[in-house]
Chain A
Amino acid sequence: MLKYVIRRLLQFIPLLFLVSIGLFALMNATPGGPLAAHGGSRHVNPQRAEQLRRQLGLDQPIALQYVIWLVGNDWMKVDADGDGLAESRGERRGVLRGDFGFSYRTRQPVMDEIAQRLPNTIYLMGVTLVVVALIAIPIGVLSAVRQYSKFDLTATTLAFAGQAIPEFWLGLILILVFYGWLNNPFTGDPLLPAGGMHTLGAPFSVLDWVRHLILPVTMGAVGWVAWYSRFLRSGMLDVMHQDYLRTARAKGVPERRVIYRHALRNALIPLLTIFALDIPYIIAGSLYVELIFSWPGMGRLYYDAATQRDYPLLMAILIITATTTAVCNLLADLGYSVLDPRIRYE
């Protein structure tokens, strides 16, 4: 088992290097390099642009830039004031030591920017996932238990619809209905707020935070509920006809217990794997929600970084996502072997 984990990690590390080299080259391949959007569009004078290039270390060969990005530049002299002479010692410590450099946009350390936003995304997506599980699991189980019943047909149709609704459009419609059309009958205000995590300047109240959650969570949950409930339904159907359930029934285990203990537990195993693989998509998955509901999270951070070509920030988010993906992949496989003792890794 330990051997297996080590081998997987060894496979994964070179892959991550390749991905980071690829992304790094890609971002530096644009004409004018990363400065194209940084200085070029704002008509910075050429001297200032050159100075900026030197200060940011963009005058170095790409390979060296990559090494600096990776291990830092505190071992070499850098040109901190951009006058063409490398006189002071570098201060960057490199990605391997947890330093992703400075954002071009805000001049803040990239890790600080991420640290500010990540909790908001985890909060939003955490609530969304709990809601998804609470809705999708009963639907999936009931659909399978009563296969081809009216309930199953309705759920199937709704799931097809849920998968075909463009997420961003759903967000707009939710705002239209619950902010634009429906009013609170007592105050005449819109029924639900159209954006933000809470009312700015107002004292903390749980109700206020919950009200701000309802629409974003609904928007994020619909597609996932559709997908997970379908997946669980087919998982349950696979399990339902297996012999051990007949054995359980023959022993006199009540039907409810057969379904929810014996069948569901096994049907959930593949779902857990899918779920582990979905974790890295939390950032991507929250992108539309955060944009439409002005939610200060990672998805919006990435979007802003992309529109303004904030390459250090983009690199950081992509590398972190890729690493999380690999770790979650491994965890999913390990989880599988823990939950299903028939599977062993060597």
Chain B
Amino acid sequence: MGVSRKPKAQGAAAAALARPAASDAGESMGQMVWRRFRNHPGARGGVIVLSLITLSALLAPLSPYSPVASDMSARLEPPSLQHPMGTDSLGRDLLTRILYGGRVSLRVGLLVMLITLAIGIPIGASAGYFGGRVESMLMRLTDAALSLPSLLILILLSALLTEVQVPLLSANSVLTVSLVIGVLSWMTVARLVRASYLTIRDLDFVMASRCLGASNTRLMVRHILPNAVGPIIVEATLVVGYAIMEESGLSFLGFGIQPPIPSWGNLLSDAQNHLTRHPWLALFPGIMIFLTIISVNYIGDGLRDALDPHKLLRKVGEA
């Protein structure tokens, strides 16, 4: 966990938001959060399942089969020892394609998370820190973005991007799809960050640093941000799940990752044509999406509980 740095403030209000002082039990703030996270059964299961999925996606190239080359002698075979998840209409091993699809999904999830943070944190931080006109403009922008029907805009942008030649953004690549999803999902982060900054900027320790001559940027990045990190971590985790769901939906609709590159979404859209006669094609990719997202959500839930300032405060009070 990256939250084990020494807390900067010890006022009661600061403690409620930030990471309060270490308890007398000799346990640091980070250790406490980590212990609480570890003891959350859902989060523990989520970490295990997600690690397995990540590991298997990383090891995908070890598979004896190619994810794209077809083998017409082995079309639509049901699951067997050679092909544990069967083969598709072009004779490709479904397990191999699912593992490669996992690489796509996980990369999209992480990229969207980074994009969301890269847009949401500066916007939320500026709004919360500066207040006034800056705040009302940035928050108006956030509200406008929130009022857009995201799935419809996602489809529109993806459809338009298939026709535009932009350097670096080849149509329907992982990067393009992530950018499109990321541009439409930073709003919650911005709102959370703004709320934290609004409260923290008026605390004494910020004032103290300002009196010592710290610049606005330094105050925002070095002093306030570390104390606002809890809700950001939780939201960043949940964004990963959201992004994976959106990507597979887009690919299912044919606007995301394009075949022959496998993604869980386009595997499902393939499976639609063989649904009743070759159901394994539809079962396995969906189970993978489900497992990934439920793991991510449980991890997010565990983090929320572990980082919950009220519960942490109570623990400090008991100690």
Which residues from chain A sit less than 8 Å from chain B, CB to CB? 15, 18-19, 23, 26-27, 29-32, 36-37, 160-161, 163-169, 172-173, 175-176, 179-181, 280-281, 283-284, 287-288, 291-292, 302-303, 306-307, 309, 314, 317-318, 321-322, 325-326, 329
Contact = CB atoms under 8 A, between A and B. Distances in A.
A31 B286 contact: no
28 contacts: A23-B156, A27-B160, A30-B164, A31-B164, A160-B294, A163-B297, A164-B290, A164-B294, A165-B290, A166-B268, A166-B286, A168-B252, A168-B268, A172-B282, A173-B283, A173-B286, A175-B275, A176-B275, A284-B152, A292-B272, A306-B155, A306-B156, A307-B254, A318-B153, A321-B149, A322-B147, A325-B147, A325-B149
Main secondary structure on A side of the interface with B: helix
B276 A168 contact: no
A172 B149 contact: no
Interface string B158-190: 011001110000000000000000000000000
B249 interface: yes
Nearest to A317: B152
Contacts of A27: 156, 160
Nearest to A324: B149
Contacts of A31: 163-165
B313 to A, nearest CB: 19
A303 B252 CA distance: 12
Q: Which 8 A-B pairs have the closest CB atoms?
A: A169-B286, A180-B276, A164-B294, A164-B293, A284-B151, A325-B147, A306-B159, A284-B149
Given A161-B294, A172-B268, A326-B147, A166 B248 contact: yes
Contacts of A329: 147
B234 to A, nearest CB: 15
Contacts of B303: none
B289 interface: yes
A281 B152 CA distance: 9
Interface string B227-242: 0000000000000010
B104 interface: no
B53 to A, nearest CB: 13
Contacts of B150: 284
Nearest to A27: B160
B112 to A, nearest CB: 16
A302 B156 CA distance: 9
A176 B280 CA distance: 11
Nearest to B289: A166
Given A27-B160, A306-B155, A306-B159, A166 B275 contact: no
Contact of A169 (B151, B156, B268, B297): B268
Interface string B127-168: 000000000000010001001111111011101100111000
Contact of B276 (A19, A169, A179): A179
B105 to A, nearest CB: 11
Contacts of B164: 29-31
A15 B159 CA distance: 24
A177 to B, nearest CB: 9
B245 interface: yes
Contacts of A302: 152, 155
Contacts of A165: 290
A306 B283 CA distance: 28
Interface in B220-273: 241, 245, 248-249, 252-255, 268, 271-272
Contacts of B298: 160
A167 B289 CA distance: 11
B279 interface: yes
Contacts of A168: 249, 252, 268
B268 to A, nearest CB: 6
Contacts of A283: 149, 152
Contact of B255 (A169, A173, A306, A322): A306
Nearest to B296: A164
A238 B42 CA distance: 24
A295 B255 CA distance: 20
B256 to A, nearest CB: 12
A86 B57 CA distance: 61
A308 to B, nearest CB: 9
B144 A19 contact: yes
A137 B61 CA distance: 48
